[in-house]
Amino acid sequence: MAEQDRVFAGSIPAIYECYLGPLIFAGYAADLARRVAAAVPRRVLETAAGTGMVTRAMARALPATVEIIATDLNQPMLDYAAAQPGVERVTWRQADAQALPFPDGSFDVVVCQFGVMFLPDRATGYREARRVLRPGGRFLFNVWDRIEENEPADVVTAALGAMFPDDPPRFLARTPHGYHDAAAITDALRQAGFSRIETETVAKRSRAASPRDPAIGFCQGTPLRGEIEARGPGCLEEATDAAEAAVAARFGSGPIDGKIQAHIFTAFV
């Protein structure tokens, strides 16, 4: 994975939250928060918290007595998340999921929403999650299924491929949707020391008010933006317009409604 695939800075966090939050993340955040609550934890660690969508969902779903610590390696994302309302109870800390600054057996649940695919060394990240879990604890996380099962991202990627046929920007297919082999992920979790792994594939609907929303969200609110801007001045707006046109051609010029799909993993210590 290119180093640029992990760059979430500048205006990206706010655009990511505003456009992609309701489009693809909110439903899965509520799903993960529900699964965390079902574990009846006393202490929860979130890794790769991003702009805090799962963090806020957990703050609503969990009793006030439950301690929530949210971490991310990317300080701009963490700053954005900590500034949102409804997270006053949360402790925020910059931390690398591959080298967690917590003692062994510190948490009942470790949770991560669409973050493990960004880890340069996922095996180490899995071992760290297991290390900080107490006996009987669980590691809850999700990953996107292949891009063909996620219609808005697939349409945008195809549009950019047509715009830049000699060097298509492939961030979405390469990274967010590039780690979807459930059997391989299960094997990696076993090798990290988890005793039992449960997997569920969950499809949801991706809805937006107009084709412009996913175009802005994907092209300007993710590291795809850096790939596009590297292709020349003015390319970002041109690419956003091309993505909007492609989404409109697929879903119509009004509100859009497309399929999205993810795998949810529960790994038990």
Q: What is the DSSP string of 54-65?
A: HHHHHHHHS-TT
Q: What pLDDT score does 262 carry?
A: 98
Q: What pLDDT score does 1 carry?
A: 47
Domain count, the chain: 1
Q: What pLDDT score does 11 carry?
A: 77
Residue 108 makes CB contacts below 8 A (sequence gap 6+) with: 39, 41, 42, 43, 44, 133, 134, 136, 137, 138
Q: Is residue 186's pLDDT more than 50? A: yes
Q: Using one digit for the tens of pLDDT, what is the confidence trace for 73-104?
A: 998 889 999 999 999 999 999 999 999 999 99
pLDDT band at 28 (very low <50, low <70, confident <90, very high): very high
Handedness of CA 21, 114, 11, 60 (dihedral sign): positive
Question: Domain range for residue 57?
Answer: 3-268
Q: What pLDDT score does 2 carry?
A: 56
Q: What pLDDT score does 72 carry?
A: 96
- The CATH number of whichever domain residue 258 belongs to comes to 3.40.50.150
Q: Is residue 214's pLDDT more than 90? A: yes
Spell out the alpha helix ranges (H) of the chain.
Answer: 12-15, 26-38, 53-61, 75-82, 122-131, 151-163, 171-174, 182-191, 212-220, 224-229, 235-251
Q: What integer best gives the mean pLDDT of the chain?
A: 95
Q: Using one digit for the tens of pLDDT, what is the confidence trace for 223-246?
A: 999 999 999 999 999 999 999 999
